[in-house]
A = this chain, B = another copy of it.
């Protein structure tokens, strides 16, 4: 496939249309072989597009009257935004095949609910998962699920591992990604029953299962995929964000605490810039929905243009690599393994 077509829910998120268009334009610079379908209020989008001639040339605007609010409940979004909303139509473009993937910075719950209704889960997948990319001491690690499912059976954890494996092969280019389960201790006796059963299943499978990691293991970067349920994963992600903010707040305070610190800061400014860059969530923006018949990438609602570009480029990458098909293939193979293990 030479050209990838990505649909964008331009109205989603906390940012204005111009920020979204700036981000998409940035992604287009890096991936010029891309076509965009922009779903949203044409009265807002079209005048702004004149500012982005490259994007204008590579995109088509699809007017939608309705947009989904960030604080709408999923059920409400499904009722009020069915067919008509920019979010629905952007996802539906993947379903009808006019787009290879969709990106939205909108309401996560609504995006997941609509994606499930429109795209359906892949054959054999009970529930989809949201996969995040975490910075680690050694690079990056995929963590899933980030909040699509609460709790989970051993089979669900197993499916998450299979999906995480396929995702890691694509975005990290690995032959045999190292898979682990998040737990509260490395001893066998700890953890919930379904985590323990999942560990047994994974040990017997052909996946490269490396056992349990604890919360601090995520950022150590010794594994490529960390599997957990959506409640725990979401708490871990948000806790990590909170601690990063806390430390950054402390850093600001100490850096103005004395004249020496101020002078030091001036000299070290470049280094601080580099630090900020490495910790910038925008650099790894993009929660990928795994397990659906189609590519859906969620950008952070408050992402900067650079963050939006990162999410769009991620969508291009996984769409160009036909991730959904690869997950479906791997799932088929693994279902057989699972049956053999369980017999």
A contact set with B: CB distance below 8 Å: 71, 73-75, 109, 135-137, 147, 150-151, 182, 184-185, 187, 189-192, 214-220, 228, 230-232, 234-247, 249-251, 254-255, 257-258, 260-261, 263-272, 274-275, 278-279
| Chain B: CB-nearest residue to A241 | B216
User: Distance in Å from the Cβ of A73 to the closest Cβ of chain B?
Assistant: 5
Residue of B230, B242, B254 touching A215 (CB-CB under 8 A)? B242
The 9 closest A-B pairs by CB, nearest first: A264-B268, A215-B238, A264-B267, A216-B242, A215-B239, A261-B271, A254-B271, A219-B242, A184-B234
**10 more A-B residue pairs beyond the given contacts A254-B268, A261-B268, A264-B264, with a C-beta to C-beta distance below 8 A:** A228-B235, A236-B236, A239-B240, A247-B247, A250-B275, A250-B278, A250-B279, A254-B272, A260-B269, A260-B270
Residue of B at shortest CB range from A242? B216
Query: Which of B189, B216, B255, B269 makes the CB contact (< 8 A) with A239?
Result: B216
Q: Which of B182, B189, B215, B244 contacts A73 (CB 8 A)?
A: B189
Question: A152 → chain B, closest Cβ, in Å?
Answer: 11
Q: How far is the CB of A210 from chain B (nearest CB, A)?
A: 17
CB distance from A211 to the nearest CB of B (A): 15
| Contact among B230, B257, B269 with A274 in the assembled complex (CB-CB below 8 Å) | B257
A249 to chain B, nearest CB (A): 6
Q: With A255-B271, A260-B271 as given contacts, are A247 and B244 in contact (CB-CB < 8 Å)?
A: yes
Taking CB atoms, residues of chain B closer than 8 Å to A109 are 185, 187, 189-190
Q: Select A184's contact among B231, B240, B243, B258, beta carbons within 8 Å.
A: B231
Q: Which residues of B contact A271 (CB under 8 A)?
A: 254-255, 257-258, 260-261, 264
Give the distance to chain B from A42, nearest Cβ to Cβ, in Å. 31
Taking CB atoms, residues of chain B closer than 8 Å to A147 are 184-185
Q: Is the CB of B247 within 8 A of A218?
A: no
CB neighbours of A257 from chain B (8 A): 270-271, 274
* Bound Cα distance A215, B151 (Å): 17
Residues on B with beta carbons closer than 8 Å to the beta carbon of A137: 245-246, 249
Q: Which residues of B contact A219 (CB under 8 A)?
A: 239, 242-243, 245-246
- Can you list 26 contacts pairing A with B, beta carbon distance less than 8 Å? A71-B187, A109-B185, A109-B189, A135-B246, A136-B246, A137-B246, A147-B185, A150-B191, A150-B192, A184-B238, A214-B235, A215-B238, A215-B241, A218-B242, A219-B243, A232-B232, A235-B235, A239-B240, A239-B243, A243-B243, A243-B247, A250-B279, A255-B268, A261-B267, A264-B265, A264-B267
